[in-house]
Amino acid sequence: MEVTMDPLFLAWSYFRRRKFQQCADICTKLLQDGPYDQAAWSLKTRAFTEMVYIDETEVDQEGIAELMLDESSIAQVARPGTSLRLPGTSQGGGPTQAVRPMTQSGRPITGFVRPSTQSGRPGTMEQAIKTPRTASTARPVTGATGRFIRLGTASMLTNPDGPFINLSRLNLAKYSQKPHLSRTLFEYIFHHENDIKNALDLAAQATEHAQFKDWWWKVQLGKCYYRLGLYREAEKQFRSALNHQEVVDTYLYLAKVYQRLDQPITALNLFKQGLDHFPGEVTLLTGIARIHEEMNNITSATEYYKDVLKQDNTHVEAIACIGSNHFYTDQPEIALRFYRRLLQMGVYNCQLYNNLGLCCFYAQQYDMTLSSFERALALVASDEEQADVWYNIGHVAVGIGDLTLAYQCFKLALAFNNDHAEAYNNLAVLELRKGRVEQSKAFLQTAASLAPHMYEPHFNLSILSDKIGDLQSSYTAAQKSEDAFPEHVDTQQLLKLLREHFAAL
Amino acid sequence: MSLFKARDWWSAVLGKGEEFDQGCLCIGDVDNSGTGHDKVVVGSYMGMLRIFSPHANVSNEGGQNLIDSLLLEVQLQNAIIQVEIGKFVSCSELLHLAVLHPRKLSVYSISGTAGNVEHGVQYQLKLIYEHNLQRTACNMTYGAFGGVTGHHSLCIQSMDGMLMFFEQDSYSFGRFLPGFLLPGPLAYNPRTDSFLTVSSARQLECYKYETLAVATEAETRPGPDLPLRTGGKRLTADWILVLGEQALDISISSFSHSSSSIFVLGERNLYCVRDNGQIRFMRKLEFNPSCFLPYCSVTDGTTNLLLCNHTNMLLVYQDVTLKWAAQLSFVPVAVRVASFPDLKGLVVTLSSDGHLLCSYMGTDPSFFSMPKVDAREADYEQVDAEMKKLQKIIREASRTQDILPKAETEEDLTVTVSVANRSSVTILMVICCLHFLFLGVGSSTVVTFSVFLNGHYPPADLTGDITVSYTSPTGVPRILQSKFSLPLALVCVSSSAAKNTKFKITVDTNQPPVDLSSIFPEFSDKSEHKDGNSLALQFLSGAKVTMVASKTSQRYRIQSDSFEDMWLVVKELVQRFDLHFSKLGVKDFKKSFSGPLPLQEYFLSVDNHFQLRVSAQQYQDLLSERAVQFRAIQRRLLTRFKDKTPAPLQNLDTLLDATYNQVMALAEAAEENRASLEEAFTRLRSATHLLLLLLSLWQNLTPDQTTILEATLLPQQDTPQLGWEESCDAAVSHLLRSCLSWNPKDQATSLAQIDAPILGFPQETARLKNHITLLCDRIGKGGRLSLTSEANVQVPAQVQNLAAPGKLSKWQENDGEKEMRDRHLSKSSP
């Protein structure tokens, strides 16, 4: 039996159940009948916004231009431990680079991929531009253009009837007077259209209309300023918003500003202040842990991740980070337990099986190793992942002494991702064992040019050159290796030896 | 993401294609059985009202189970948007069922008649009263409004923002909420006797019942922008809390006596608010919640709540701490806690498409099972065979190809160029990029392209390069190159001879003079006078070049008003002589140039080029100066505009405009200069070519030596950073110092050592001219050009023997003097 219902009510109900397309369709029909139906218009706006909504606190994309043309940083040469740009040398007593691989900026590899972990902060312009620009590490030239346009694909979707709201024709001043419409409209402009300037206009007029007493508008102003790169203005707005009303999001936004301004200590203090108001808030704890991790203070980071788990024991990021930390601190059995927990929780992807495989191997559960990798290979989503899995299989093959298999695995890794510097390095070592010096040298040089932040290819090249008597190349390579990893004892010994040689000459 | 799943105790799938939402589930002892056991009331948007009394009956099948538990199933006329159980009938302590339809509110009583056997119990639905609504209803709440005890009143929110109050079977009053656009959740707080809603302005608003009662009677909906009518009190909120987000649900819980808390489930956060509108705590949700329910307080001061989200999870929180997470098989739209005869405290969840589930927490692992990887049959023989096969392929492949490509000798591709002579087409300089596909072995592709004259001056070169880059089937990128030359007729036409000209060049040969018209057949037929001794060509740019063959001697004279334009003609002439005489079978054909080298004429074009470079530099400096000024003004303007207190612009805008105009004018001038620089460069190249040709004719240089000279003098590129003057100077002075030096020791050493002064923009060209003159002199004196050091050791020794020693030392002195003078000049010039 067909029962008639009010279409607006149905649309409203669909919206509550997050069936946005149906909601928008009904609203479109309603708007065709009555173009001035504010309720339907507002609901459709909200539905469109929700379809593309991304939590702004998690969006962190810093383009090369923002990085290098940044005038707001306080000190060019910051004191150790006060800057994200200059990662201190493992103050937390974590594992060294020899055990735990580093990202390009000298930060240890983390257990959970976040926007900011993708490639870290390069120290110089040259380094920033030289970053291997594969799909997984590509950094846009500026955050104001490429990335956000890609994120805000909704604004680029062609609509046969033109865009739903024509922003250029909108009288923002009129809408800013209407509190029941303005917030919805703002979110639409900000999230759906990605038109920050208009959003800022609207927010500025609305906050004026609210007599500067509405914390929400101040937060939105701050968000706009942040996107426009006016960090100090954003900070001011967020601070002012916090005076009106303590909200978790505001703390997160403000901390994001401080991180962008390269003031991790201030951000940490802010998070702790936020925790006083909202004890046990998971997002704040995670924020602290992430900053500690970025500053190479792995021990504290792990502590905070454990605190996160006390509040929310299903937190995937915390489990993954603790797991990877255990793995790199030589406790593969415990890491295995963390990863198994993730598996039981329903995380089911290539990366997890890859990690499981490695943990099994190092925990000497050889029976599970290969089947884990097999599953990882069955689940790969991209060539980069496939390359990584093959690289790890190659690593296992080296471990069990099957050099032929290892050789072929590394080759496969390179076939899937020919920017895989680690594979080049290992392949070079295998080639050297076969006695093919030239080939080995070529691979090492490729690896060194692909990943100048890794010390291994430099060091290997140095050893190789030393053996064939090319002391000059050996010395330069050893120096590069020392730059990448100052505490590496073998490099230092080699350098010492070389210096003695030169002195003798 | 959870470790465990919610354990099924009882479940049912309701109807087919029916829709349910938040209000459609309700728990209570609706038939007043007095046992305290709850019944589950579910209404659907399709108008079906169902009442269940779930009980675990393990032995029965699912369908049987459902029928057993179903107490009542009625199809109502209208859609059911909300069901509530309460004391809605006056003078009755019994619970009744209120059903909200879009345009109607009905209150039913449900009663059971006991039968003889257990499943013979009959349930009946009896309408007590109903109200027809003027407006489309959205949701409702109930409670003892105004502190009345004993029975419940109902409050219905309409889609256009009217709160309608019903006291049992009578309508009491209706009020419009101010600033209303879309309805939000509605809740009644009995402690403060107030109503809570989240309005479209995204704020939590609290209205006292009292205030609502005395506010202006609203019969017609006021426009949202118009002020409310005067008379009576304006409806204002008791307090407002800005949330900044829409709420899904509001729930009031008062588990402890001291205070009650208002829980608001927003789209992104969970708030707990005190009675007075202050936030007690909040929690940011990292998922999209669907519904929630605060259900009890386990320890004092905290509240436990159930929260469901759109990733099929049922979460149990104690305030902000996650206590338990369980996996469900659907996204619930409503969640309740109920106690049934067999079990207390079961979680009842309802999904949008009619899954009704009573579940409890347990440690059943989540029912996610990994899909199987297509495990191969371990047939070892087959695997071995495959392995062997693959190994063979790998071995084969690694022998032939590798990551590092091996040099291949045989070419996969050949390029042939043919020039179609179409003299009507005008001409030159082209860079074209063509992509085409070679289909297979033996196939050929013809690519046709045209060549055009770029600019109004004759080109420096009529030859062109063709580069083909391709990828071989194995993926190795390769390159092929080929050259072609274009006919002279493309750039010039024949014309009448000019008698008096500025520049003349005479070329001697050792053969009897030939008829020029036979050598240049394409021009001769057009010329009016059939005089074989002279031929005049006019370039498309206007310059004329006349060739005159001497009647008596074996000389040819080329004359023109512009020095550079002679190059193409001279070159063509020399080439055609070669061709002509080789055709005739003359072996020892020789051509030479006797006269002094036209260095002065050459230097004219050098100076011209240099002058233009200097002015380009000046334009550059001026431009950067203006740009700096422009930016400075911009910065000042920006600080003005950013300033909180507006200040006058002080004509900065005019200044900005003027600077902008200056910059544009300068840029245009620089662009013009660049164009003429290009022309000058082409002319310089022509002139250099001519000079080199004459030089080689004069001293009869070998092709090797000519190549060296070409590399030395011929401009490869001319950029603002590295111009022809400095690179040529460096090359020439290197030649002078190395293989053209008279001192054999110099030759050996200076070749090995690299002294590279930084190439910079020269101050003037005198030094370069000196060097070129010197170079020509030395070549004229018999210097040999060779770059190989062995040759250098021997050849200059011979030269030394031949040359007079006295003269030699003098040259060296001269050279030194010049060097000194140059240095002196450069010191004094700044």
| Spatial CA neighbour of B94 closest among B69, B120, B128, B122 | B128
Say which CATH number the domain at B549 has: 3.30.310.200
* pLDDT exceeds cutoff 50 at A478: yes
- Whether B290 maps to a domain, the answer reads yes
Tell me: do B139 and B157 sit in the same domain.
yes
DSSP state of B345: S
Q: What is the pLDDT of residues B140-178, one digit of tens each?
A: 999 888 888 778 899 999 988 889 999 888 888 888 888
Window from A149-153, A187-191, B368-372, B711-715 with minimum mean pLDDT: A149-153
- Residue B197 has a pLDDT of 92
Question: Residue B519's CB: how many other CB atoms inside 10 A?
Answer: 21
- Whether B409 maps to a domain, the answer reads no
Tell me: do B65 and B1 sit in the same domain.
no
CB B538 within 8 A of CB B495: yes
Give the range with max mean pLDDT: A442-446, B555-559, B752-756.
A442-446
**Three-state DSSP class for residue B724:** helix
Cis peptide before B196 (omega within 30 of 0): no
Question: Residue B468's CB: how many other CB atoms inside 10 A?
Answer: 16
Window from A196-210, B109-123, B436-450, B710-724 with minimum mean pLDDT: B436-450
* pLDDT exceeds cutoff 50 at B361: yes
Tell me: do B123 and B31 sit in the same domain.
yes
Q: Once rounded to an integer, what is the mean pLDDT over residues B549-555? A: 75
How far apart are the CA of B91 and the nearest CA of chain A, in angstroms? 34
d(CA B110, CA B51): 10
Number of domains, chain B? 6
Across all residues in chain A, what is the average pLDDT?
81
- Residue A150 has a pLDDT of 40
Chain B neighbors of A22, CB-CB under 8 A = none
- Residue B257 has a pLDDT of 67
- Residue A202 has a pLDDT of 92
* pLDDT exceeds cutoff 80 at B137: yes
d(CA B79, CA B83): 11
Residue A173 banded pLDDT, cuts 50, 70, 90: confident
Window from A219-228, A300-309, B454-463, B695-704 with minimum mean pLDDT: B454-463
Chain A neighbors of B404, CB-CB under 8 A = 439, 442
Tell me: do B206 and B154 sit in the same domain.
yes
- Does B430 contact chain A (CB < 8 Å)? no
Q: How big is the A-B interface in CB pairs under 8 Å?
A: 152
B134 or B722: which carries more pLDDT confidence? Answer: B134
- Residue B797 has a pLDDT of 34
**Percent of chain B whose pLDDT exceeds 90:** 17
d(CA B332, CA B337): 13
CA distances from B397 to A167, B390, B391, B392, B393 (A): 60, 10, 10, 8, 6
Q: What are phi and psi of B730, to 5 degrees?
A: -60, -45
Q: What is the residue range of B316's domain? A: 1-18+259-269+281-367
- Whether B238 maps to a domain, the answer reads yes
Q: What is the pLDDT of residues B409-421, one digit of tens each?
A: 455 566 666 665 5
Tell me: do B581 and B624 sit in the same domain.
no
Residues β-bridged to residue B348: B336, B358
Residue B82 banded pLDDT, cuts 50, 70, 90: very high
Give the range with max mean pLDDT: A405-409, B60-64, B675-679.
A405-409
Tell me: do B162 and B127 sit in the same domain.
no
Q: What is the pLDDT of residues A214-242, one digit of tens each?
A: 999 999 999 999 888 888 889 999 999 99
Residues β-bridged to residue B335: B349
- Whether B789 maps to a domain, the answer reads yes
- Residue B787 has a pLDDT of 59
Nearest to B288 among A10, A13, A18 (CB): A18
Between strands B153-158 and B137-143, the pairing is antiparallel
* pLDDT exceeds cutoff 80 at B268: yes
- Residue B435 has a pLDDT of 54
- Residue B589 has a pLDDT of 75
Q: What is the pLDDT of residues A265-294, one digit of tens each?
A: 999 999 999 999 998 899 999 999 988 888
Window from A108-117, B98-107, B425-434 with minimum mean pLDDT: B425-434
Domain ranges of chain A: 1-52, 419-505
Chain B neighbors of A10, CB-CB under 8 A = 45
Q: What are phi and psi of B774, to 5 degrees?
A: -60, -45
CB B278 within 8 A of CB B264: no
- Helix-strand-coil split of chain B, %, nearest 5: 30, 30, 40
- Please return the burial class of B654, using the count of CB atoms within 10 Å of its CB with bins 0-12, 13-18 and 19+: exposed
- Whether B441 maps to a domain, the answer reads no
Nearest to A1 among B19, B75, B202 (CB): B75
- Residue A308 has a pLDDT of 93
B764 or B663: which carries more pLDDT confidence? Answer: B663
CB B232 within 8 A of CB B216: yes
Last-in-domain residue among B104, B132, B160: B132
Whether ipTM tops 0.95, in short, is: no
Q: Which alpha helices (DSSP H) does B401-486 contain, by range?
A: none
- Residue A330 has a pLDDT of 87
Tell me: do B738 and B829 sit in the same domain.
yes
Say which CATH number the domain at B207 has: 2.40.128
How far apart are the CA of A399 and the nearest CA of chain B, in angstroms? 21
- Whether B274 maps to a domain, the answer reads no
Asked if B224 and A180 come within 8 Å (Cβ–Cβ), the reply is: yes
* pLDDT exceeds cutoff 90 at A99: no
Q: What is the pLDDT of residues B373-383, one digit of tens each?
A: 666 667 788 88
Tell me: do B806 and B767 sit in the same domain.
yes
**Percent of chain A whose pLDDT exceeds 90:** 30
Q: Return the H-helix or E-strand segment holding B99.
A: strand B96-101
Window from A3-12, B187-196, B485-494 with minimum mean pLDDT: B485-494
Asked if A5 and B200 come within 8 Å (Cβ–Cβ), the reply is: no
Interface test with B, best of A345, A372, A374, A436 (most B CBs within 10 A): A345
* pLDDT exceeds cutoff 70 at B710: yes
**Three-state DSSP class for residue B461:** coil
- Whether B10 maps to a domain, the answer reads yes
Residue B669 banded pLDDT, cuts 50, 70, 90: very high
Q: Once rounded to an integer, what is the mean pLDDT over residues B718-726? A: 74
- Residue B401 has a pLDDT of 63
Fold that domain A419-505 belongs to in CATH? 1.25.40
- Residue B812 has a pLDDT of 35
- Whether B189 maps to a domain, the answer reads yes
Tell me: do B614 and B657 sit in the same domain.
yes
Q: Once rounded to an integer, what is the mean pLDDT over residues A15-37? A: 88
* pLDDT exceeds cutoff 50 at B370: yes
Q: List, as ranges, residues 326-385 from B with C-beta within 8 Å of A.
A: 327, 331, 333, 352, 365-366, 368, 370, 373-374
Q: What are phi and psi of B284, to 5 degrees?
A: -80, 130
Last-in-domain residue among B100, B132, B164: B132
Across all residues in chain B, what is the average pLDDT?
77
CA-based R_g, chain A, Å:
27
- Does B226 contact chain A (CB < 8 Å)? no
* pLDDT exceeds cutoff 70 at A426: yes
Tell me: do B27 and B103 sit in the same domain.
yes
